[in-house]
Amino acid sequence: MHDDREFLPVRSGTTRRAAVASGFSRRSDGLDLAAFASVHTLGPESTSSHLAARHFMAAMSLELAIVLHDKFEDILHGDRQVRGRLVIVPSAFAGAHKFFMAEDIELIGCFCHDTPPYHVAWRRGAGTLRDGVDPERSCAMPLIASHPAPVDLIPRILPAGSRFRVAHYCSTVAAARAVLVNDADMALCNLSTIAEFGLESSGVGIVIQMTWNVFAQGGPAARVRIFRKGDASIRFPGSARWSTRSEIRPTRAS
């Protein structure tokens, strides 16, 4: 399993740097994390969201079930547990705004946590990165599978001038599986997934310095947040209402 305490820098295959220090910035009126029954995020196992959820659980000394979903949208529309659930969503997710606007979801806080390095990967023995994207080969238009969020990393990883097509998948793990069944030539995925599926990968890897939003859904999060004119008891959020309650330190994935 990939050790997410250390990551490859953008343009090197050997030198390592420490992961960014992170702390859980929590609303001063936030809910008790122990009041929830489970943590929900994007699956399957080995996605960056899954690794971030494990990191958060370990750092906060929580023992909750981690439930993985095929799509973040499924979390919004799924059944609510009686005790409620925590939801971890990366800021880079294009639909993150839906969680902030949802009626039964409340933001508890956020934390910083680097993803593992993202590489372009292909089936073992299928050639090299240069073979697949050589700009001098006019017919070379490999299909690269990827989740929509990190696709802008692909031109930074491939050799300059590379020609390629992109197929969107619901997760980088699903993208890696597409390569294994020959539905795509290459996939953009993290090192943990590359190791799990036995793929070969580019020497260049890029870490995403990510912030992760922690939401509460259902149960104790079902509080009315409607402001009515003249209601002096309502206070608007401001910087004074945020405080760092717990420090998260990178932990070794088990």
Segment 102-143, tens digit of pLDDT:
888 889 899 999 999 999 999 998 766 655 554 444 446 899
- pLDDT value at residue 242: 38
Cα–Cα separations (whole angstroms), residue 218 to 70, 223, 232, 236:
20, 9, 26, 22
- The pairs formed by 136-142 with CB atoms below 8 angstroms and a separation of 24 or more are 141/165, 142/185, 142/186
Q: What is the pLDDT of residue 12?
A: 34
Which pLDDT score is estimated for 177? Answer: 95
pLDDT value of residue 55: 94
- Does the pLDDT at position 247 exceed 60? no
The CA distances from residue 63 to 17, 34, 37, 82, 111, in Å, are 30, 9, 9, 18, 18
Residue 230 is predicted with a pLDDT of: 54
Burial 110-121, CB ≥16 within 10 A → b, else e: bbbbbbbbbbbb
Q: Taking all residues of the chain, what is their mean pLDDT, rounded to a whole number?
A: 77
What was the pLDDT predicted at 215? 92
Residue 71, phi then psi, degrees to nearest 5: -140, 150
**Rounded mean pLDDT, 150-169:** 93
Q: Residue 239 region, left (φ>0) first, then alpha (ψ -120 to 50), else beta? A: alpha
What DSSP string describes 160-220?
TT---EEEE-SSHHHHHHHHHTTS-SEEEEEHHHHHHHT-EE-S--B--EEEEEEEEESGG
* Tokens 């989740």 belong to residue: 147
Closest CA to 8 of 150, 115, 91: 115
Q: When comparing pLDDT for 26 and 157, which is higher?
A: 157
pTM for the whole structure: 0.73
Give the pLDDT confidence score for residue 244 in this predicted structure: 40
CA–CA distance, 175 with 189 (Å, rounded to integer): 7
CA pair distance 89, 2, nearest whole angstrom: 21
Q: Which CATH number among 3.50.50.60, 3.40.190.10, 3.70.10.10, 3.20.20.80 corresponds to the domain 6-115+208-248?
A: 3.40.190.10
Q: How confident is the model at residue 154 (pLDDT cuts 50, 70, 90)?
A: very high
Contact 230, 88 (CB under 8 A): no
CATH architecture assignment, domain 118-201 = 3-Layer(aba) Sandwich (3.40)
- Return residue ranges of the chain for CATH 3.40.190.10: 6-115+208-248, 118-201
Q: Phi and psi dihedrals of 45, rounded to 5?
A: -60, 145
Which residue in 97, 94, 113 sits closest to 48, CA to CA?
A: 113
Q: How far is CA 184 from CA 121, 123, 158, 243, in A?
A: 11, 10, 16, 46
Q: Would the pLDDT of 218 be above 80? A: no
pLDDT score for 186: 95
Residue 213 has pLDDT above 60, yes or no: yes
Q: Residue 119's pLDDT is what?
A: 96
pLDDT of residue 48 exceeding 50, the answer is: yes
Predicted confidence (pLDDT) per residue in 13-45, tens digit? 323 334 445 678 887 565 678 778 899 999 989
Express each pLDDT in 52-87 by its tens digit. 999 999 989 999 999 999 999 898 886 655 458 899
